[in-house]
Structure 1
Amino acid sequence: MMARLLSSASPIALVLTIAAAFPAAAADLTPAAPQSLPVAPVATADTPVFYATGYLWASALHGTTGTLPPLPPAEVNLSFGDILKNFDGGLMAAAEMRTGRWSFLGDVMFSQVSPDGNLPGPYRTGVELRSRSLTLQANALYRVYDGPAVDFDVGAGLRYWNLDNRVNVNASPVLPGIGYSENEAWVDPLVVGRIIARLGGPWSLTVVGDVGGFDVGSTLTWQMIGTVNYQWSEQLALRAGYRYLSVDYRAGDFLYNVQMQGPILGATYRF
Structure 2
Amino acid sequence: MNIQKIFLLTAIALSSQIIFAENSFTESFKGKPKINANFYVFAADIDGTLSEGNIKYNADQPFSDTLKNLDQVYMGYLDFSKGDWGIYIDKQLVKTSKDESIYNIPLALETKLDQTSYGIYYQAYKSPTENSLKRPKLIFEPTIGIHHTEAEATVAALGLTKKVDINWNEFFWGARLRYNFDSPWNLASEVTVGAENTLSAHTYIGYNIPVFKRIINLRAGYRYFHQDYTSGNFRWDITEKGPVIGFNVPIF
Shorter-chain TM-score tier: 0.7 to 0.9
> Once superposed, what is the RMSD of the aligned Cα atoms?
1.9
Partners of 1:245 and 1:232 in 2: CA distance: 29
Partner of 1:197: 179
Q: Any conservation in 2 of the 1:228–1:241 contact (CA below 8 Å)?
A: yes
Partner of 1:163: 151
- Give matches, 1:1-271, under 5 Å: 45=30, 47-63=32-48, 65-67=49-51, 69-72=53-56, 74=58, 76-120=59-103, 124-148=104-128, 149-170=137-158, 177-213=159-195, 218=196, 220-233=197-210, 234-271=214-251
| C-alpha deviation, 1:182, in angstroms | 1.2
Q: Any conservation in 2 of the 1:157–1:192 contact (CA below 8 Å)?
A: no
Amino acid at match of 2:42: W
Q: Any conservation in 2 of the 1:109–1:134 contact (CA below 8 Å)?
A: yes
Normalising by structure 2, what TM-score? 0.78
Normalising by structure 1, what TM-score? 0.73
Q: Deviations along 1:205-257, whole A, 9 cap, x unmatched?
A: 111110112xxxx3x01121111111111331111111111111112332222
Percent sequence identity is 23
Higher fraction of helix: 2
SS in 2 for 1:81: helix
| C-alpha deviation, 1:197, in angstroms | 1.0
Partners of 1:253 and 1:68 in 2: CA distance: 5
Count, aligned residues? 213
Q: Any conservation in 2 of the 1:68–1:165 contact (CA below 8 Å)?
A: no
Sort the Cα spacing of 1:56 and 1:132 in 2 relative to 1 into closer, same or farther, 3 A: same
Q: Deviations along 1:75-115, whole A, 9 cap, x unmatched?
A: x4322112222111211121001100001101222111111
Partners of 1:190 and 1:200 in 2: CA distance: 33
Partners of 2:44 and 2:174 in 1: CA distance: 22
Sort the Cα spacing of 1:248 and 1:270 in 2 relative to 1 into closer, same or farther, 3 A: same
| C-alpha deviation, 1:51, in angstroms | 0.5
Q: Any conservation in 2 of the 1:164–1:184 contact (CA below 8 Å)?
A: yes
| C-alpha deviation, 1:47, in angstroms | 2.1
Partners of 1:261 and 1:180 in 2: CA distance: 28
Amino acid at match of 1:101: D
Amino acid at match of 1:230: Y
Higher fraction of strand: 2
SS in 1 for 2:55: coil
Question: Structure 2 unaligned runs (5+)?
Answer: 1-27, 129-136
